[in-house]
Homo-oligomer: A and B are copies of this chain.
Amino acid sequence: MARLSHSTVRTVRFYEETGVLQPAHRSEGGHRLFPHAELDKLVLVTDMRAAGLSLDEIKAVLLLKEGAPTGKAASSRALSALRQHVEDMSSRIEALSRLRDELAKAAQFLEHCGACENDAHFPDQCGNCRVMEDRARVPRAVRVLWAVDAPAAGGEDDQASDDDALP
């Protein structure tokens, strides 16, 4: 079960304890034996966990058919719940894509630094480099990773401009 679902033995046991998987039958020696259908379920659960759903949400999905009086009622409940999850996942995909693109742009931007010979500026004065000149074109990730907005510590009136502000 564990291998076939790309999860771990501990996870399988945990899912059985918490009721995600049906309590397995046991062999003479105490080994758990699961029906084939439970493997399909386990793989689906593993995928949903990887997608960021909590076990409670997943349990709710697995119980969508339960408790409804008719097939009609069950399917309509399941349908709207599934569509809600599809929407949520689409937002997550969008957010992930935005971050990925930002990191890709950051990497691309840092190519400018591949030819850097400006070792006087390097550790602390990168913010004063001509590469970082046009602040609006520096990706956020580069501003953060390269500490471009860190106090420059080079002027004369430095003391006064050290503006903490956010509680």
Residue of B nearest to A162 (CB): B35
Chain B residues within an 8 Å CB radius of A31: 167
B48, B145, B165: which contacts A35 (Cβ < 8 A)? Answer: B165
**Quick one: CB contact mask for A89-100 with B, threshold 8 Å, 1 for yes?**
110110111011
Interface of A is mostly: helix
**Quick one: CB contact mask for A79-107 with B, threshold 8 Å, 1 for yes?**
10011011001101101110110011011
Minimum CB–CB distance from A6 to chain B (whole Å) comes to 11
A55 at interface by CB-CB < 8 Å: no
Question: Which residues of A come within 8 Å of B, CB atoms?
Answer: 1, 4, 24-25, 27, 31-41, 43-44, 47-48, 50-52, 61-62, 64-65, 70-72, 74-76, 78-79, 82-83, 85-86, 89-90, 92-93, 95-97, 99-100, 103-104, 106-107, 110-111, 113-119, 121-123, 126, 140-141, 143-147, 149-151, 162-167
